[in-house]
Structure 1
């Protein structure tokens, strides 16, 4: 089964980071990313731009839609990154997700990783 893993961060903590904090974050990320990828169970990894670059399509009762700038839902811990895990169970997906740097950067970014099972997953041509 595929699992969508969504990395959240705390805006205030992120904004308070100094240049030396980002250097320390880089030292944490590289080995964690290697360990995560070495599982062979990660299909895709990505990160998001700032929320000001988002667009939301809203469906209307008449079958039409409209576009609004910004995220669909805002909150104190926006999404910063995502990845897809292929695992046999939620517990295994959580174990794999725990290798991601986002699970180890609480001192700098707060947040955490949400793991969502996907009951449908399709890739074009795959």
Structure 2
């Protein structure tokens, strides 16, 4: 399914806005980043892996959820950011900070998600 076909297949959900982009995370010209915006006051629940070796986005999402209610979900595919140590955590922090700055919210209101 190409990106225009996908856009035509999605129905609007009250209180949510969604954007996709081909950022070249793994392949060129293929949508690989999603940004989901939840309306102010929205509620969120999360379930995380219990694996002792979770990826940087899992650690950061847990941290952010303990600080604030999320407004944005930043999702990438093509790179799970797992086993990347301190640099992976720094990358996840930088990505959430960039979204937060553009949206005018705190970085804690942005949850990162990555999948390989």
Normalized against structure 2, the TM-score is what?
A: 0.31
Higher relative contact order (CA 8 A, sep 6+): 1
Larger Rg: 1
Which one has a larger percent strand, Structure 1 or Structure 2? 1
